[in-house]
Amino acid sequence: MGLAQPRGADVPRLFAISPEGYRPHALHQGERFWPQTNCYADLWIEIIHQCGGAPEAAFGFTLTQDFEGDQFTFFKPSLDELNALYGLRVNELALYDDLLTQLEVQVARGRLVLIELDSFYMPDTRGVSYRETHGKTTIGINLLDRAGRVVEYFHNDGFYRAEGEDFDGLFSLLPHQQREDWLFPYAEFVTFTPNKPDEAALRAKAQTLLAQHFAAMPKNNPVADYARVAGAQARALFAREGSAFHYYAFNTLRQVGANFELLASHLAWLGGFDAAVAPALAMAEGAKVAQFQLARAQRTQDPARFEAALAPIVEAHDALRAALKITLG
């Protein structure tokens, strides 16, 4: 998309940033195994970054990830912890009237609106879902210009702009979207409070929360639970069309790999957890290897190597628990 026309002074903008030259936080840069995690966690990394906080502090909760039978827990920062750590208050936004008017009210009040919209109209998903497939994903609206048909938003690991027909499609303004049974999307709004803890207080609070999350870890090794059914799930996947692989991999291997890579970053940021950082990173790398083996199994119709690739991740989870028991004990 080309550059949008300059916005008038009367169009509110929460953060003084632009998609041109935007630099994501370090958690979204470098040679990470999973530079994108899931839309909600990635969104908060960039929001906290723009607020001047350390996003690494937020991810102690990843210790509690479990295998839910057909997927790993879709990990999301707790709203209570976002408030406790950064003073960010999140409430559901009740949508009941003209959608754009309601969004404009919140942006004008200095609130960041988080809203689930269709990635089909998001230019930043080009090559994945843009103008190809429909899917809900959460964005954070930084600027909304109804007259100029422009929205600037946080999404995944960056900050982007949609305009013109994409703007219309995102907010269901296109002729084919006008339906009486149209449902409002789910939305929340973020209120920014002026009191922010200093780094020492933030570390102390994050370590307290980490100890609580360690006590709440699943009793069983969740990767071992997954490994017991993964072969059968892979065989069922072989008979499905190609897109089924991507949905399955996203909700299993990507979620567990990205989850524990963020945990490794959290532990490294806290300091004093070197023995636990290594197995957390091993889980992130192991999930990447297993995903590659699953893709190979899809071609060969043989899941043996995929199943074997899960064993090191199981062992790394056991090692992580043991290391944290010593450090936190």
* Domain boundaries, given as residue ranges, for the chain: 26-192, 199-328
pLDDT of res. 9: 52
pTM of the model: 0.92
Per-residue pLDDT in tens (0 to 9) along the chain, 329 residues: 233 333 445 788 999 999 999 999 999 988 899 999 999 999 999 999 999 999 999 999 999 999 999 999 999 999 999 999 999 999 999 999 999 999 999 999 999 999 999 999 999 999 889 999 999 999 999 999 999 999 999 999 999 999 999 999 999 999 888 887 788 999 999 999 877 778 899 999 999 999 999 999 999 999 999 999 999 999 999 999 878 999 999 999 999 999 999 999 999 999 999 999 999 999 999 999 999 999 999 999 999 999 999 999 999 999 999 999 999 97
Name residues whose C-beta falls within 8 Å of residue 168's C-beta, 6 or more positions apart in sequence: 149, 174
pLDDT of res. 298: 92
Q: How many helices (H) and strands (E) does the chain have?
A: 10, 6
Task: Show the CA angle centred on residue 157, arms to residues 319 and 147, nearest 5°.
Answer: 155
Question: At 214, is the secondary structure helix, strand, or coil?
Answer: helix
